[in-house]
A and B are shown apart, each in its own frame.
Chain A
Amino acid sequence: MAARLSLSRRRFLQWMAGTAGALIVGVGEVSAQEADLPLALLGDNVTRLGPFVRIEGDGRVIIGARDPDCGEGTHTSLPRIIADELDADWQHVEVLSLGPEVVREQDTSVWRYGHQRSGNATSIPAAWADLRQAGALTRWLLLQTAARRSGIAVNRLRTANSRVLMPDGRRYTYAELAADAANQAPPQMPPPLKTPDQYHLIGEAAGDVDAKAIVSGNTRYAIDHDYADALAALVLHCPYPGGSLQSIDTHDALKIDGVKKVLQLHPQRGQPLGHTPLSSAVAVLATSTWAALKGRDKLKVTWRPAKTPAQDTRALEKQAHELLTGTGDPDKRVRNDGDFEHAQHQAARRVEATYVQPFVAHATAEPMNALVRIDARKATLVVPSQLPDDALVMVQRLTGLTPAQIEIQVPRVGGGLGRRLDHDWLAEAIMLAKAAGKPVKLMWTRDQDLTQDMYRPLAVHQLSAALDRHGKISGWQQRRASPSALARRGVAAAQLWTSELHPDALPAGLLPNFQSDWFALDTALPRGPMRGGADVTNAFAVQSFIDEVARATRTDPLKVHLQLLGEPQVLPYHGQSAGLDTGRLINVLKLAAARIDWDKPRHNGHGLGIAWHFGYGGYCAHALEVSVMKGKLRIHRAVCAIDVGRVVNPRGLEAQAIGGTVFGISTALGQAITVKNGQIQQHNLKQYPLAHVLQLPPAVEVFSVASTNAPGGASPVAVPSAAPALASAVFAATTVRIRRLPLLPELLRLL
């Protein structure tokens, strides 16, 4: 018997009794069609619960975490949002990872846990909207039960540490109340949420809930799961993007002890990127990973390049320069305020610069992998996905099974960075399991991971500023040439620009004359989403350029940044209903400057650089102090000032800010994916270097701005401004301007 309370037309809270005296509360969602029916008429269709709280008779409080945790800390922060409203004792909260599930099996089926997604900084804002309600209702049910049992009015009862406290000092544990609370009649309306002064967990620092298991080696990532009868599968993909298999000799491979099969994989026609294998491939299936590795090394395979091969990166760059300096119209005029040409005509001075940034790969710590068992009426999978809903749809399509027959487990994920929003690797594992008639444990080796990625697009920016006679910026033009990250994904040609430039990204809205153009490049090299997206490359160009304008006018860069930002105002920003508050941006910029002692001159050869960015609803500024001695770049200090609204877990936010900063620096220092003769040149982590400890700042000093704004996400926010702050600091230390990434080889070339 389940009781329900409507939250909105589509969402509701539901509670019921579990086994052994448990109380279960969840957030349910009805489909659009059902939303027209009163909840009472829905009957028992929805018998299973969404994101839930479960209070066991033995005192445990179990809280479900719906979004995969790829290192964003959501398995800590989301349950704490519920636990706070519930006044649960955090020490006795268990967090349970929820896989994707569909509640009904018609065209109107609904996701049991709502939208499940890791990435794009959406977890916390979405949770803020509904998870708190689940906690509040659970607490309300327990309070009502306690009032009935004690005869004391509800308003004289308090809750703390998983207990209801009575004025005379007596107390009930939540466990004691759970069974009766499950039969409590519904409230008239959703119980009120806490006011911020009542929070006891939100805003308090907490370590990662999985920390102990991780440092003990007990956390099982997807790659650590196995079925006793599963075959290890290793794949070799065609090294030419879009190419195909020419010939294969499996004789020697099949002679290896333990090698069972060699199978071919091919992309399915008509499927968008990420929904089918990326390239033609050959898979070795064996009784162990080691046997599969040996078998793979014995394969004799030749590959045929595509009819239209992937362009060499140099040629693509050249094409970009031609487009940017030519007289042709852009593929998209993203924004055009005032009259840039006129401003340029009237200018006392012009500044121009071109920035070149390469393709980069995700290189997540845990390589692509999946464990798949497909039986006649059931599929069981362990999938390291950032988007479990999509994974489930794919399993359904490739197996013909119904959602009820599919069970997907999403354990903690060893890094997502956007790569796991795509499921090409999962399609491979499913196809292999089907063809082999046995469970398959697919693993990509690092060379496959680097050469079979959906890369962050290469970008060439040309920036021009018109300066008036006071050296103030009066006109701004930015032109970006890049292959769209949305290409071959079923997105209309007219919308391909949307992944490349944002019409409201600053300095748009700050200047009377502003023009932003996108020029399309195309290549067979696949592209896709990556932590921070095009904000990262755009911020590098824009922020570096502001520094260049400052240097050209012999003005303190901080002064130019602040002059450009002007008086605090709220600007409209497409996709962010709260808009862009330049006051919050000015705050973080000033804070970063203060903490790095911007005004204190450095006489030791050190240089300072500063940059800022607004993206994903968050405000961030970086200030770095560097030196370059005998060709060696050292980052002595890195300050990151960040404002993402109300902070759920300061410790988690700090981790995301440190991580974003290091990710931004590490990528800018040495990483580039290049194509030559139709093939990707980087096959390993020597050719695609992640920064060593030595190359990174010894600490990232994070300063979070206290805020009462609704909480935003954090994981991409601290990425974009890190690299331009670094490049500007390098200029300050050396007068060498980095206009091409990766930074280290360019610095050595220019020194």
Chain B
Amino acid sequence: MQPAQPPQTTPQTIVPVAASKGINLTINGESYVHTGDADMPLLWYLRDVLQLTGCKYGCDDAVCGACTVLVDGKRALACRTTMANLADHAVTTVEGLTDARGNLHPLQQAWIAEDAILCGYCQPGWLMAAADLLTRKPSPSNADIDKLPNLCRCGSQPRVRAAIKHAAKLMKGGK
């Protein structure tokens, strides 16, 4: 081991709402101001700063989809979305799918009903990608689901497909 001389630094800080400087954004309906590095990807802001760890790290190349969130209701990868680009935007993470009273989103209900889990690590990303899909296509076809870019190592995809179709029915008031 060769310890190196530590430089004098101060850790990043997050100043609560109502600061005048910084990047204003909302996450799951709550307002935040980010005053740290504007180049930091949303992924690390969510995980390290806010401890909202539903958004997962999975790759370095924007291919796995584990960090999928919604920005202004549209699908985005938190690993490729910098804080600078989020000024005055609204972010929804998997934690924000559940409503304020704790009611599960139809997608979450469908995921449980279909037991689309296995190791579960990539599922928050799939849920957010599915949320985006159902907004655009309330009755997604197999071909629509085929276009989802998310990856899963354990092999949950067939049940994820069933869960998305199940959720589409729930959202139309079916069972």
> Which residues of A are interface residues toward B (Cβ below 8 A)?
70-71, 207-208, 210-212, 214-221, 223-224, 226, 232, 250, 254-255, 257-265, 287-291, 293, 363-367, 412-415, 417, 431, 435-436, 443, 445-447, 651, 655, 658-663, 666, 684-686, 690, 692-694, 696-700
Residues of A within 8 A of B63 (CB): 684-686
Q: How far is the CA of A89 from the CA of B84 in the complex (A)?
A: 51
Q: Is the CB of A658 within 8 A of B155?
A: yes
A176 CA to B49 CA in the complex, in Å?
46
> Given A261-B3, A287-B9, does the pair A445, B60 have CB atoms closer than 8 Å?
yes
* Cross-chain contact A260 with B6 (CB below 8 angstroms): yes
Cβ-defined contact, A699 with B115, below 8 A: no
A290 and B41 CA atoms in complex are apart in Å by: 8
Q: Once the chains bind, are A663 and B51 in contact (CB under 8 Å)?
A: no
Q: How far is the CA of A447 from the CA of B64 in the complex (A)?
A: 13
Q: Does B37 contact A (CB under 8 A)?
A: yes
Which residue from chain A places its CB closest to the CB of B40 in the assembled complex? Answer: A290
B133 to chain A, nearest CB (A): 11
Secondary structure dominating the interface of B:
loop
Q: Known contacts A210-B120, A220-B53, A287-B11: does B145 contact A417 (CB below 8 Å)?
A: no
A214-B117 contact in complex given A443-B57, A693-B161, C-beta closer than 8 Å: yes
Quick check: is B19 within 8 A (CB to CB) of the other chain?
Answer: no
Q: Is B5's beta carbon under 8 Å from chain A?
A: yes
Complex: A700 Cα to B158 Cα, angstroms: 7
Contact of A698 among B59, B60, B161 (CB under 8 A): B161
By a beta-carbon cutoff of 8 Å, the part of chain B in contact with chain A is 1-7, 9-12, 37, 40-41, 44, 47-49, 51-61, 63-64, 66, 93-95, 97-98, 104, 107-108, 111-113, 115, 117-124, 127, 142, 145-162
Given known contacts A217-B95, A289-B44, is B115 in contact with A651 (CB within 8 Å)?
A: yes
List of 3 A-B pairs having minimum Cβ-Cβ separation, nearest first: A217-B54, A662-B155, A71-B119
With CB as the reference atom, state the residue of chain A lying closest to B54.
Answer: A217
A662-B54 CB under 8 A given contacts A211-B117, A263-B3, A446-B59: no
- Across the interface, which residues of A come within 8 angstroms of B54, CB to CB? 216-218
Chain B residues within an 8 Å CB radius of A260? 6-7, 9
Q: If A288-B11, A289-B48, A685-B61 touch, does A207 touch B156 (CB 8 Å cutoff)?
A: no
* Structural contact, B142 and A288, CB atoms closer than 8 A: no
User: Which residue of B has the minimal Cβ distance to A205?
Assistant: B115
Question: A684–B59 contact, CB under 8 A?
Answer: yes
Alpha-carbon distance A287/B44, docked complex (angstroms): 12
Residues in B with CB closer than 8 Å to A220 are: 53
Can you show 29 pairs from A to B with CB atoms below 8 A apart? A208-B117, A212-B108, A214-B123, A215-B94, A215-B124, A218-B54, A221-B53, A224-B47, A226-B48, A255-B7, A258-B12, A261-B6, A264-B1, A287-B9, A288-B49, A289-B47, A365-B121, A366-B56, A413-B119, A414-B122, A415-B119, A445-B60, A659-B118, A659-B155, A662-B156, A666-B153, A690-B151, A693-B157, A696-B158
Contact check: which of A289, A415, A696 meets B153 at CB < 8 Å? Answer: A415
The reply to whether B11 and A259 contact each other, CB–CB distance below 8 Å, is no
Asked if A662 contacts B158 (CB within 8 A), the reply is yes
Give A211's nearest chain B residue, CB to CB: B112
Question: Which A residue's beta carbon lies closest to that of B128?
Answer: A217
Are A366 and B121 within 8 A (Cβ)?
A: yes
- A684 contacts B53, CB within 8 Å? no
Identity of the chain B residue whose Cβ is nearest the Cβ of A697 in the assembled complex:
B158
Q: By the criterion CB–CB under 8 Å, are A365 and B152 in contact?
A: yes
Residues in chain B near residue A436, CB distance under 8 A: 3
Q: Does A415 lie within 8 Å of B121, measured CB to CB?
A: yes
Known A445-B60, A662-B158; contact A217-B1, beta-carbon cutoff 8 A:
no
Complex CA–CA separation, A259 to B7 (angstroms): 7
Q: Which residues of A contact B94 (CB under 8 A)?
A: 215-217
Contact in complex: B155, A216 (CB < 8 Å): no
Q: Which residues of B contact A694 (CB under 8 A)?
A: 146-147
**Additional A-B contact list (18), CB under 8 Å, known A220-B53, A290-B40, A693-B157:** A71-B119, A211-B112, A217-B52, A217-B124, A226-B48, A257-B37, A261-B3, A287-B11, A291-B12, A364-B119, A413-B119, A414-B120, A446-B61, A655-B156, A658-B155, A659-B156, A666-B155, A693-B148
Docked Cα-Cα span, A392 to B58, in Å, equals 27
